[in-house]
């Protein structure tokens, strides 16, 4: 069943206070193949903070491509795992040193398949990424925050295991999260509870009291201009304004985008990939080569962007 046929039903379900649902996007039973391996750059020898900087000098063309400089492998995570609903770990090959870890969570009545594209995209730039399903498709933002945290803990534990495919790969002090819709609300919530290096809430939905004014995590909020499920003026924009100006933050609104503008299969993956990778590289890896893509010239000159705000220089 095509997504454009299903969208009106999802909008009706989620906009109606997101209190009930009778719809689900069935995840593909066929595992996504690994990207075609690309030549892997040699990061060379490094020590201390320099080890966080890896890969070639970034360019717009490279950041908007489907794959980064590293080839990617995946391993499945059972749905019987404790704390979240299972998922997929994506990790790069052809690099060395410990890497930051990122957990990505979908939204209400949605599955891992809707946000899985972030896995290979980010891993190909030198991160260990876990894209997850939730315990139930109806879980609320606070529960999704807990599940993001559990997924990060799982990745750290796997890195600490000798028998894991990602053994020794993760730096537990450099963690990030991404969430869409209620998952975006969950990523904001977790930023008030746990020390993180970076967060990217996408079309975030959160209702009721929040303590986002306490967030110190560098946060890139991605909004969808024509979102009727989580209207920008009621969710993404107030959330951005509530985060202290002393916190590194940015606001990216997709021109003409609906609530699904950040999902897999939509035409915005190139622009989201460029900003998403740059944000994670800048704040998880501390790589200042990516400042040029987050600060500086008028970002709204790109027709894909209807609004862009930031607190540069970071």
Is 242 contained in some domain?
A: yes
Residue 299 annotated among the catalytic residues of the structure: no
Whether 185 maps to a domain, the answer reads yes
pLDDT of residue 164: 97
Buried b (16+ CB within 10 A) or exposed e, 274-303: bbbbbbbbbbbbebeebeebbeeeebeeee
CA distance 297 to 276: 18
Tokens of 68: 């980064």
CATH of residue 205's domain is 3.40.50.1820
Local confidence band at 136 (pLDDT 50, 70, 90 cut-offs): very high
Q: Is residue 293 part of a domain?
A: yes
Q: Report the pLDDT value the prediction gives residue 262, as an integer from 0 to 100.
A: 83
Total residue length of the chain = 314
**Does 5 map to a domain?**
no
88 within some domain: yes
Token pair 């977790």 is found at 190
Residue 147 has pLDDT above 80, yes or no: yes
Mean pLDDT for the stretch of residues 199-219: 98
**Other residues' Cβ atoms within 10 Å of the Cβ of residue 157:** 12
133, 139, 227, 285: which one is catalytic? 227
Q: What is the mean predicted confidence (pLDDT) over 120-134? A: 98
Q: What is the pLDDT of residues 109-124, one digit of tens each?
A: 999 999 999 999 999 9
Query: Within 114-249, where are the H helices?
Result: 117-123, 141-159, 182-191, 236-242
Range of the domain at 235: 69-310
Note whether 223 and 287 are within 8 A (CB).
no
Please check the confidence at residue 302 and state whether its pLDDT lies above 80: yes
- Banded model confidence at residue 155, pLDDT cuts 50, 70, 90: very high
Active-site residue, selected from the candidate residues 114, 120, 124, 181: 181
The side-by-side arrangement of strands in the sheet containing 71-77 is 71-77, 87-93, 128-132, 99-105, 170-180, 198-202, 219-224, 249-254, 305-310
φ/ψ of 102, rounded to 5, equals -130, 135
With beta carbons less than 8 A apart as the criterion, state whether 88 and 119 touch: yes
| E strands in the chain | 71-77, 87-93, 99-105, 128-132, 170-180, 198-202, 219-224, 249-254, 305-310
Higher pLDDT pick, 200 / 303: 200
Residue 222 has pLDDT above 90, yes or no: yes
How sure is the predictor about 265, in pLDDT bands with cuts at 50, 70 and 90? low
Average of pLDDT values for 170-192?
98
Q: Does residue 38 belong to any structural domain of this protein?
A: no
Residue 58 maps to a domain: no
| Number of structural domains found in the chain | 1
Alpha-carbon distances, residue 150 vs 89, 133, 144, 204 (angstroms): 14, 12, 10, 20
- 34 catalytic? Reply is no
Quick one: which of 121, 148, 72 has its CA closest to 278?
Answer: 121
167 DSSP assignment: T
SS3 10: helix
**Which pLDDT score, from 0 to 100, does residue 48 have?**
52
In a domain, 290, yes or no: yes
Do the beta carbons of residue 96 and residue 139 sit within 8 Å? no
Tell me, yes or no, if 270 is annotated catalytic.
no
**Beta strands 128-132; 87-93: pairing state:** antiparallel
Q: Is the pLDDT of residue 26 over 60?
A: no
Question: For position 287, what pLDDT does the model report?
Answer: 96
Is pLDDT of 90 > 60? yes
Among 90, 124, 171, 259, which one carries the catalytic annotation?
A: 259
Largest distance between two CA atoms of the chain: 55
């Amino acid at each position: 069943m095509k997504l454009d046929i299903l969208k009106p039903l999802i909008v009706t379900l989620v906009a109606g206070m997101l209190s009930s649902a009778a719809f689900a996007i069935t995840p593909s039973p066929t595992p996504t193949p690994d990207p075609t391996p690309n030549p892997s750059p040699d990061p060379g020898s490094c020590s201390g903070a320099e080890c966080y900087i890896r890969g070639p000098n970034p360019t717009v063309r490279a950041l908007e491509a489907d794959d980064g400089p590293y080839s990617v492998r995946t391993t499945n995570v059972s749905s019987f795992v404790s704390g979240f609903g299972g998922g997929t770990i994506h990790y790069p090959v052809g690099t060395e040193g410990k890497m930051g870890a990122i957990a990505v969570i979908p939204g209400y009545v949605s599955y891992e398949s809707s946000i899985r594209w972030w896995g290979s995209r980010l891993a190909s730039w030198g991160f260990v990424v876990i894209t997850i399903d939730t315990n139930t498709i109806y879980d609320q933002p606070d529960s999704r925050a807990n599940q993001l945290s559990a997924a990060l803990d799982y990745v750290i534990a796997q890195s600490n295991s000798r028998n894991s495919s990602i053994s020794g790969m993760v730096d537990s002090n450099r963690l990030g999260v991404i969430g869409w819709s209620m998952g975006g609300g969950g990523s904001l919530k977790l930023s008030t509870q746990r020390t993180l290096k970076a967060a990217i809430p996408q079309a975030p939905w959160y209702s009721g009291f929040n303590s986002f004014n306490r967030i110190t995590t560098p946060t890139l909020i991605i909004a969808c201009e024509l979102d009727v499920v989580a209207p920008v003026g009621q969710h993404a924009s107030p959330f951005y304004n509530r985060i202290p100006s002393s916190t590194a933050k940015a606001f990216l609104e997709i021109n003409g985008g609906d609530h699904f503008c950040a999902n897999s299969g939509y035409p915005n993956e190139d622009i989201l990939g460029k900003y998403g990778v740059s944000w994670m590289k800048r704040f998880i890896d501390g790589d200042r080569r990516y400042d040029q893509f987050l600060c500086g010239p008028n970002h709204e000159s790109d027709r894909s962007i209807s609004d862009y705000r930031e607190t540069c220089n970071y």
